[in-house]
Amino acid sequence: MSGDRSRAAVVLFNLGGPDAPAAVRPFLENLFADPAIISAPAPIRRPLAAIIAHARARSARANYALMGGGSPLLAQSLDQASALEAALRRRAPRVEARVFVAMRHWRPTTEQTAAEVARFAPDQIVLAPLYPQYSTTTTASSLGAWRTAYKGGGVSHAICCWYDNASLIEAHAQAITRTWERAGRPAVRLLFSAHGLPRNVDASGDPYRWQVEATCAAIARRLGPAWDWRVCYQSRVGPMKWLGPSTPEAIREAADAGLGVLVDPVSFVSEHIETLVELDRDYAELARLAGAAPYLRAPTVGIATPFIDGLAQAVQTAMETRASGTAPDGEACPAQLTRCPLRSQSRCR
């Protein structure tokens, strides 16, 4: 406590990305060694992660080279942290709020950020994953790593679910509308492209797909009934069956209908390899060959004012919660989605 001001640490979680060509392979090893990604026992998982990383490193380095050799994800996450910190100063002037960034699979690591937060000595901590839709492979993994790493004090709150945050919806709607209007309002199908998920994870009761679809439906309602829209999934890895339809399938279907496409990266809040390479290069070329013209892509929400304001509101609400535990920004998922954190609150603590 500093005078009559309380101290609050806000921790933004994201996946992370390699910051240099030499970091690509160790980043991939960290990613595939995550038990939330590959559920095999550690003695099997770690060698398997090394094999997968070795097989994918060359092509991954080539893709990151298109972005200057590394991912822009950390820089953009730090920009979001700065914008959020400024918003919190305006909203809660009696709280000394400092915003930190923790990356699940690269630097700054969860352990590095946990030590930094402990040195700050907060009265309370708000854990805010930058994954709009909850999944055991992302949010739960990041929060689990934090529980293991953090040794400091402070009452802890986790914002598990904000897939239907009104300001998030508004930020997407504004980005889509601006992109469409700047292109001259062409005839397009709106494709909400989300990061994919293996079907076996989806079948386990993971709420990710349901929350993605709820986000997309909310954005579509905000845009109005005139829009032709679909939900699709990108970034498939490996031979397993993944959620569909895939974004390439959705692009081809739009082309067959004589339409262009406007792609909204609905599950991403920052630009990185899945948007700057997969969407802007690979799928743009696919659309050109398929005849889906024009091919438009809305930017991620980044530091858009509605998005940052909505996140600040969610953080402020969490800070006003007295007890440690869950501070959701949304309703519980349907009962069959048993891995929804609001149905088992201990998963979010």
Phi-psi region of 224 (alpha: psi -120 to 50; beta: other; left: phi over 0): left
Cross-strand partners of 100: 11
Residue that wins the pLDDT comparison between 78 and 341: 78
Measured CA to CA, the distance from residue 289 to residue 179 in angstroms comes to 22
pLDDT of residue 39: 83
Band of residue 161 on the pLDDT scale cut at 50, 70, 90:
confident
Strand order in the sheet with 229-234: 229-234, 188-195, 260-264, 295-297
CATH of domain 166-297: 3.40.50.1400
Q: Average of pLDDT values for 268-280?
A: 98
Mean pLDDT of the chain: 93
pLDDT of residue 75: 97
Q: Do residues 81 and 99 touch, judged by C-beta distance below 8 A?
A: yes
Domain ranges of the chain: 21-65, 166-297
Measured CA to CA, the distance from residue 295 to residue 204 in angstroms comes to 35
Percent of the chain with pLDDT over 90: 87
Which helix (H) or strand (E) covers residue 111, if one does?
helix 110-120
Measured CA to CA, the distance from residue 299 to residue 269 in angstroms comes to 9
Q: Which residue has the tokens 């199908």?
A: 189
Q: Do residues 174 and 303 touch, judged by C-beta distance below 8 A?
A: no
Measured CA to CA, the distance from residue 178 to residue 270 in angstroms comes to 18
CA atoms within 13 A on the CB side of 295: 20
Residue that wins the pLDDT comparison between 5 and 256: 256
Q: Is 50 exceeded by the pLDDT of residue 102?
A: yes
pTM metric for this prediction: 0.94
pLDDT of residue 237: 83
Q: Which of 32-41, 147-156, 221-230 has the lowest mean pLDDT?
A: 32-41
What pLDDT, in 10s, does the model give residues 182-197? 999 999 999 999 999 9
Q: Which of 141-145, 160-164, 226-230 has the lowest mean pLDDT?
A: 160-164
Q: Average of pLDDT values for 53-70?
A: 95
Q: Is 70 exceeded by the pLDDT of residue 326?
A: no
Q: Is 80 exceeded by the pLDDT of residue 3?
A: no
pLDDT of residue 324: 55
Q: What's the token pair of residue 196? A: 């994919």
pLDDT of residue 1: 47
Closest-CA residue to 9 (of 167, 142, 153): 153
Measured CA to CA, the distance from residue 132 to residue 329 in angstroms comes to 10
Q: Which of 35-44, 161-170, 200-209 has the lowest mean pLDDT?
A: 35-44
Q: Residues with Cβ < 8 Å from 3, sequence gap 6 or more?
A: none
pLDDT of residue 346: 42
User: What's the start-to-end Cα distance of the chain, in Å?
Assistant: 23
